Amino acid sequence: MRLYNSALRETLRAMGLIVISSFIGPYAYAAPADYDGTWRLDGGCMADPSRNQPSFQYHWTTTIENGSFSRTNTFKQPSGQTDTNRWTATIQGSNITIDVDGYDDRGHRWLRKYTGNAISATEIKISGDYFLPSSPGGWQKIARTCTGIFTLISPNSNSLAAKEQQRIDAQRHAEAAQKAEAQRQLAQRKAVDAARQKKLAEDADGERRLARTSRFRNRNSLIAHGS
């Protein structure tokens, strides 16, 4: 087993894929592009009964590039007003911060602030607070919380998820190569054993033939002396 692990490490090192181990964690050594790729966000905000505001959900996809993304969503409410939410997100290490600047076509404004962290290379959880304008020119947090989960759909080639898949593929390749080598060595040992057994059988057969020849000569010699 020690030789097997050593051979596996050498194979992974040769392929340049042993630098980050999955056992260290997907965000131990963070880089700006670690979470780059296409993600799906599923989330929502709780109701605000004091303002007669129902709960709502949101589901959409976005692309993270160099650890950030921005997008604008618009939605027409049943009441007829159009809501606009401008999302701006930044990832540093395994932590994400998101500001959502919201407004409608009737002059109302709101703000949502999210924080969260990557729990793996393929999932990011967020939670946030809801704010409304207050005087003079500030924001007041209200008793309305929001949550969400980003799920990776398609990683970029330089992301942690892609590197982890490369590491897994390399490990599988190394294990397959190790297994093939073990099978080759086993077949070689069997071939050597078979050749040895064949040689022993041939030697034994030669000795039997030699013994028969010797007995035949001795018998002929006795016959010749008896005559």
Residues 149 and 164 both lie in one domain: no
Q: Which three-class secondary structure state does DSSP give residue 207? A: helix
* Dihedral of alpha carbons 178, 181, 187, 193, sign: negative
Copy the structure tokens of residue 172. Answer: 């599988």
Q: 30 in a domain, yes or no?
A: no
> What's the total number of domains in the chain?
2
Residues 40 and 88 both lie in one domain: yes
| Integer Rg of the chain from CA | 37
Residue 112 zone, left/alpha/beta (φ > 0; ψ -120 to 50; rest): beta
Domain boundary among 118, 141, 156: 156
Output the pTM of the full model. 0.65
Residues 39 and 131 both lie in one domain: yes
Residues 45 and 151 both lie in one domain: yes
How would you class 58 by CB atoms within 10 Å of its CB: exposed for 0-12, middle for 13-18, buried for 19 or more? middle
Domain boundary among 126, 156, 186: 156
Domain boundary among 156, 181, 201: 156
Copy the structure tokens of residue 57. Answer: 């959900």
Residues 208 and 106 both lie in one domain: no
Strands (DSSP E) contained in the chain are 37-45, 56-64, 68-76, 82-92, 95-104, 109-120, 123-134, 138-155
**Range of 166's domain?**
1-25+159-227
Q: What is the pLDDT along the chain (227 residues), one digit of tens a residue?
A: 444 445 545 554 444 443 333 333 444 556 889 999 999 999 999 999 988 889 999 999 999 999 999 999 999 888 889 999 999 999 999 999 999 999 999 999 999 999 999 999 999 999 999 999 997 889 999 989 999 999 999 999 989 988 887 787 778 878 888 888 888 888 898 888 888 888 888 888 888 888 777 777 777 666 666 65
Distances (CA, A) of 104 to 8, 77, 86, 117: 59, 10, 11, 30
